[in-house]
A and B are shown apart, each in its own frame.
Chain A
Amino acid sequence: MKLAGFSLSRWLGIVVKEFIQLRRDRLTFGMIVGIPVMQLLLFGFAINSDPKSLPTAVLSQDNSRYARTVTTALQTSSYFKVVKQISTEDEAEKLLARGEVQFVVTIPVGFERALARGERPVLLVEADATDPAATGNALAALEQAISTALAHDLTGVLADSQQSPSPVDVRIHRRYNPEGITAYNIVPGLLGVILTMTMVLMTGLAMTRERERGTFENLLATPALPIEVMTGKIVPYILIGLLQVTLVLLAARYIFGVPMLGNVFLLYGGVLIFIAANLTLGITFSSIARNQLQAMQMTFFFFLPSMLLSGFMFPFRGMPQWAQAIGDVLPLTHFLGLVRGLMLKGDSFVDLWPNLWPILLFMAVVMALGLKAYRKTLD
């Protein structure tokens, strides 16, 4: 490098000018401070790859002391949190399909008697394994927890049945993804991530580009109505979104072998609603942002928590309550449930509804904010 003629005061002038501009650009400044803080909070406090207190339902067909011991053992292992006592298999099926519980533990009829006779009764544990990472550790800890608890009870008369390896035969059914293939979880999830990224960003840029280049004024001077401008500008991106979805679905099917158990049309319906929610957000960003850079920064601010808190990268239930509350607001969280439910579980519309209405609500709120911001920019 040639340093001859290097002027310190000239160089300082450039440094100072850069700082002045940085200070004026509040959003960039916010990003410089906000992104590290956000990442620290999310990675430091919210993300936990060893989720505990997973919601569990117990289907007890044997109302005995030992059945209660099993329930208590689950609770004390800290991995499980018994949220429901149910009485039918139908109910168990429904809870798993909707993702309301992660596990269903079935204590069979005559559990106590079989245990007393040393017959190693079967304890059935059904796990929602759509996200293998969420269930792995809990299942690993399960057998030990139950054996230890029962060993404590099986003293005295029944001490004989305390044979090794374990007094009960714990059978684990990994539902929906028996082999625990990560791609089954990631690939459907990618649908939502890709759509969030492109839909929010592209609409945000499309609108701010017009404003930045001054062409928006030309458009407004023509008889074109705002509704024509808005919807007309959005439609191409909806088509792009659908194209992306189709590409990912084809890859899921033919490259990764991800099953498609549900109705494809229902999936596309859900996708359209999700696209609409993201486009609404993109347009709202574009009415607030003054230039394309700001639209991009806002998208990033939204994208980061969407990736981290939606359950795409890390198990949703591993996060503390406050992080789950934020995650519940994000459309991606619900879209993941929706897509995984459709593809891996073959959910019906009724099962999907709990994940559908939060997306619609998000869209309605953002649209109301967006309309308010849009009016301001016209006058």
Chain B
Amino acid sequence: MNTDLVIDVQNLNKRFGDKHVVKDFSLQVRRGEIFGFLGPNGSGKTTSIRMLCGLLTPDSGSGTCLGHDVIHDTAAIKREVGYMTQRFSLWEDLTIRENLDFVARMYSMPNRKQAVDRAIEQLGLTARRNQLSGSLSGGWKQRLALAACMLHDPKLLLLDEPTAGVDPKARRDFWEEIHALAATGISVLVSTHYMDEAERCHRLAYIAYGSVLSKGTVDEVVAAQHLFTWLVSGADLSALQHQLNGKPGIDQVTPFGSTLHVVGGDRAALEAAIAPFRNDARYKWQEGSATLEDVFIHLMESAPDNFQ
């Protein structure tokens, strides 16, 4: 076993009824790494995370999390992992202090009082510690949830869409904190829908319909798809989008702000397809490199949807 891997699982499977929610899921996460977990809604991200932290038992497969067997040693995993659920799942009718104190008790922490006081101080919530957590704003709830799952000094953080519904400033602060934690040797597995967040991860995996479709650093994931992109700017782009859509050689046409990304897997075919429009004076064409988002849309559209 490679001791440098905090997560090392092979071929995990999970079915709910006749739905095969996670298929042959394999993942390796290194110590101190921030690993991004991307994919559309309902792609099996949450289920995969739950299997890693011992909440769900995989139907088949094997592997370890922090050196503990994911099937038999779930109790040991729970003690050393910090899991932040997708939805705020602390008790809204408990105060900030009571919530943290409860969590500290659940992990049988020695010096519970000091640990809780320290966490509240770090949060900067000392003055509001007796406020009900349900009355906090989205951003504060998220920070409180992170503090709660960091309370017992976990070696691995599993964060399930931690920044959903949080404003951009709070999101940036949150990511700075994640990077600071990773610098101290804590490993982080984080699922997200945001491309800018994905680009802040050391490595990432793209999962759709229960299968991992691509894995690696941002550059590796982009390069692996061999996509070619032309950027178009100018007036009346939506008319152009309609004309380009579905043409042989063009896989996808996506508007990004004031530019249109025209993407294809075959360079020659793509150029042939756009040639008739290149001379139109209304548009300015420029060859660009495929972005992560181009790649994800491509992956999503080419993945077989076995849930329907």
Contacts and interface: CB of A to CB of B under 8 A. Distances in A.
A223 B75 contact: yes
Contacts of A379: 56-57
Nearest to A228: B106
Interface in B59-96: 75, 78-79, 83, 85, 87-92
Nearest to A218: B89
A263 to B, nearest CB: 39
Given A222-B106, A223-B107, A214 B85 contact: yes
Contacts of B182: none
Contact of B107 (A214, A218, A222): A222
A222 B56 CA distance: 13
B150 to A, nearest CB: 14
A217 interface: yes
A214 B88 CA distance: 8
Contacts of B88: 214
Interface in B177-226: none
Nearest to B160: A217
A223 B87 contact: no
A378 to B, nearest CB: 8
Interface in A70-102: none
A218 B78 contact: no
A15 interface: no
A250 interface: no
A221 B107 contact: no
The interface size bin for chain A is 10 to 19
A152 interface: no
B53 interface: yes
B85 A223 contact: no
Contact of A215 (B57, B79, B90): B90
B108 interface: yes
B103 A222 contact: yes
A221 B78 contact: yes
B53 A221 contact: yes
A224 interface: yes
A213 B134 CA distance: 11
A221 B92 contact: no
Contacts of A221: 53-55, 78, 83, 85
Interface string A210-246: 0001110111111110000000000000000000000
Contacts of B56: 379
The interface size bin for chain B is 20 to 34
Nearest to B79: A223
Interface string B90-120: 1110000000000100111000000000000
A223 B77 CA distance: 9
B75 A217 contact: no
A29 B29 CA distance: 49
Contacts of A224: 106
Contacts of A219: 106
B78 A222 contact: yes
Contacts of A223: 75, 78-79, 106-108
Given A223-B75, A379-B57, A217 B89 contact: yes
Interface in A181-222: 213-215, 217-222
Contacts of B57: 379
Nearest to B59: A379
A222 B75 CA distance: 9
Contacts of B53: 221
B283 to A, nearest CB: 45
B107 A213 contact: no
A220 B55 contact: yes
Nearest to A216: B89
A217 B49 CA distance: 12
Contacts of B107: 222-223
Interface in B29-70: 53-57
Contacts of A222: 78, 103, 106-107
B106 A213 contact: no
Interface string A347-379: 000000000000000000000000000000001
Nearest to A219: B106
Counting chain B CB atoms within 10 Å of each CB, which of A217, A219, A224, A379 scores highest?
A: A217
Given A218-B85, A218-B90, A219-B106, 7 more contacts: A213-B91, A213-B92, A214-B85, A218-B89, A221-B78, A222-B103, A223-B106
14 contacts: A213-B89, A214-B85, A217-B55, A218-B85, A219-B106, A221-B54, A221-B55, A221-B85, A222-B107, A223-B79, A223-B107, A223-B108, A379-B56, A379-B57
Interface of A: 213-215, 217-224, 379
Interface of B: 53-57, 75, 78-79, 83, 85, 87-92, 103, 106-108
What are the 10 tightest A-B residue pairs by CB atom distance, in nearest-first order? Answer: A222-B106, A218-B89, A221-B83, A214-B89, A214-B87, A223-B78, A223-B79, A215-B89, A217-B85, A224-B106
